[in-house]
Structure 1
Amino acid sequence: MTRSFPKASISFVSRTILSLCLLIFCKTSAQEISGKQLLERAIHYHDPQGNWDHFAGKLTVGMTMPSGTERLSEISIDFPNQHFKIRTIKNDKTVEYSVTNGKFLLSLDGKSNFTEEEIKTFNLTEARTKFMQNYYTYLYGLPMKLKDPGTIIDSVVERREFLGKEYLVLKVKYEEGVGKDSWFFYFNPKTYALKVYQFYHDETKKDGEYILLSDEETFSGIKIPKIRAWYVNKDESYLATDTLTKISKL
């Protein structure tokens, strides 16, 4: 025997099913992606072809400070040949730090023999060279460098408003012996482009700095932020601006 349902019942069932579908869809769309998923999408935006590990280029970077001080640096990064070099001009002095396959070479105005006063004044040491190498390859290699060993990616992604804009925020810490600071990376929620990063030595003290990124240069398929403006977390005071004025092949 064929059994029929009242039209009102059919309408109720349809509305119920529709409501459940909408509820499931809304719940799913509201869920945030994980930290690792966000990082992968950000890397895909900045380095879709995976070229960073084979990077070989020269970056010309100009720094300006509120005092009017200016500094020009040429930075050579050559991963295939394990080579790093930075040549900086400041106050009419030219300082070069380089390391190739673990061999260090330093110079001041073209000379490699220094007085104790010059070593102290210009920090002409292997430790300084290694610091500069780590510093520049880290900052210009973001967010790809967040895949390095010893990096702890927080699984929770936070939506946060910062300076009037909304971002997806990724928290990163480091294993002991790798790094001590806590870092926060702010990504455009639609494109996953890295727009801000921020670090604290001690979050409870609100110390550290934040860096605003703007404009981009594309080199070897890699989207690299062109302008980086540095500020103090505690009082938002301005520190300096780095501008990538040129990037070329070695």
Structure 2
Amino acid sequence: MKRYCLAFLTLGLFSVVAGNAQSLSAEEVLEKAIAYHDPNSNWASLNTTFKVVMETPSRPKRTSLIGLDFPQQKFTLDVEQDGSSYAYSFDEDSCEIRLNGSTDFSQDEAEEFRLNCERGQFMKDYYTYLYGLPMKLKDPGTHLNPEVQKRTFKNKEYLVLNVTYDSEVGTDEWYFYFDPTTYAMEVYQFYHDESKNDGEYILLKGLEEINGIKMPKTRAWYVNKDDKYLGTDTLEKI
């Protein structure tokens, strides 16, 4: 009898949790997710360095050393891949590029490694956006759909937030999947045109704590249309 009582109690508790989650607004879900990932509000003043190792089926392993110093408006990216290295350094509005340790490289080399400040700015935005989630969903130009969706993805039920952006910020449509109990972010997904089922989804596993912020340990990338595996990023402390 005690086992039956426990089962009914557990079921009742789950119903209360699910009911509370369902009644939350999108803004409230986002606030709870931010509280989980960045409980001490450290993101805005982050000054740290971490490593990201990217492995893909068809290319050599790429190791990126990323330096973020938000108070001083500095960003550095040092990349090693297939025996070569290149680096970007941003200090407020200035941009410096190095190839194999030197700022002196040819136009052919610049084209081979896609070395230009526009590419560097793209990589800066890329890393600060993805590793700044879900906090970055509070940035200007971000439009949070007020409806909280409930979706089952890979046999797990999630609370899902839908986000679009001002055109100058981004044109893709994003969905962010949160555990309904802890509010941990476990999946995100984007479409260029959702009616075509294009774009990608990213599975997040494990956590690495960087300056008090819980960041995804691994991110595995897949194509929405056919589940084709693209690669995995692994975050490592320095």
- Tell me the TM-score normalized by structure 2: 0.90
Unpaired segments ≥5 residues, structure 2: 1-15
In the alignment, structure 1 residue 119 sits paired with structure 2 residue 129: no
Partner of 2:33: 42
Render the CA deviation track for 1:202-248: whole Å, top value 9, x for unaligned.
1011110000001101122211111000000000010000001224x
Tell me, in whole angstroms, the C-alpha distance in 2 between the residues paired with 1:47 and 1:27: 23
Note if contact 2:129-2:136 (Cα within 8 Å) is conserved in structure 1. Answer: yes
Render the CA deviation track for 1:42-67: whole Å, top value 9, x for unaligned.
00000111110001111111111113
Instruction: Report the Cα offset of residue 27 of structure 1.
Output: 11
**Pairing partner for 1:156 from 141, 147, 165:** 147
Instruction: Report the Cα offset of residue 34 of structure 1.
Output: 1.2
In the alignment, structure 1 residue 105 sits paired with structure 2 residue 96: yes
SS at match of 2:227: coil
Say which is worse superposed, 29-38 or 87-96, in terms of deviation. 29-38
Letter in 2 for 1:61: V
Q: Residues 114 and 217 of structure 1: is their aligned pair in 2 closer, same or farther, counting only changes over 3 Å?
A: same
Note if contact 2:54-2:62 (Cα within 8 Å) is conserved in structure 1. Answer: yes
Tell me, in whole angstroms, the C-alpha distance in 1 between the residues paired with 2:20 and 2:92: 49
Instruction: Report the Cα offset of residue 26 of structure 1.
Output: 11
Tell me, in whole angstroms, the C-alpha distance in 1 between the residues paired with 2:152 and 2:27: 21
Note if contact 2:66-2:76 (Cα within 8 Å) is conserved in structure 1. Answer: yes
Partner of 2:80: 89
Letter in 1 for 2:152: E
Partner of 1:76: 67
Tell me, in whole angstroms, the C-alpha distance in 2 between the residues paired with 1:96 and 1:231: 28
SS at match of 1:117: helix
Q: Residues 234 and 54 of structure 1: is their aligned pair in 2 closer, same or farther, counting only changes over 3 Å?
A: same
Tell me, in whole angstroms, the C-alpha distance in 2 between the residues paired with 1:190 and 1:26: 7
Letter in 1 for 2:171: K
Partner of 2:227: 236
Tell me, in whole angstroms, the C-alpha distance in 2 between the residues paired with 1:62 and 1:198: 21
Q: Residues 218 and 163 of structure 1: is their aligned pair in 2 closer, same or farther, counting only changes over 3 Å?
A: same
**Pairing partner for 1:220 from 193, 211, 226:** 211
Letter in 2 for 1:176: S
Q: Residues 164 and 85 of structure 1: is their aligned pair in 2 closer, same or farther, counting only changes over 3 Å?
A: same
Instruction: Report the Cα offset of residue 35 of structure 1.
Output: 1.0
Instruction: Report the Cα offset of residue 194 of structure 1.
Output: 0.3
Instruction: Report the Cα offset of residue 31 of structure 1.
Output: 4.0
1:172-211 to 2 correspondences below 5 Å: 172-211=163-202
Partner of 1:22: none
SS at match of 2:31: helix
Note if contact 2:176-2:188 (Cα within 8 Å) is conserved in structure 1. Answer: yes
Say which is worse superposed, 172-181 or 61-70, in terms of deviation. 61-70
RMSD: 1.7
Partner of 1:165: 156
Letter in 2 for 1:199: F
SS at match of 1:141: coil
Q: Residues 27 and 47 of structure 1: is their aligned pair in 2 closer, same or farther, counting only changes over 3 Å?
A: closer
SS at match of 2:219: strand
**Pairing partner for 1:146 from 137, 147, 169:** 137
**Pairing partner for 2:52 from 54, 61, 64:** 61
Note if contact 2:22-2:148 (Cα within 8 Å) is conserved in structure 1. Answer: no
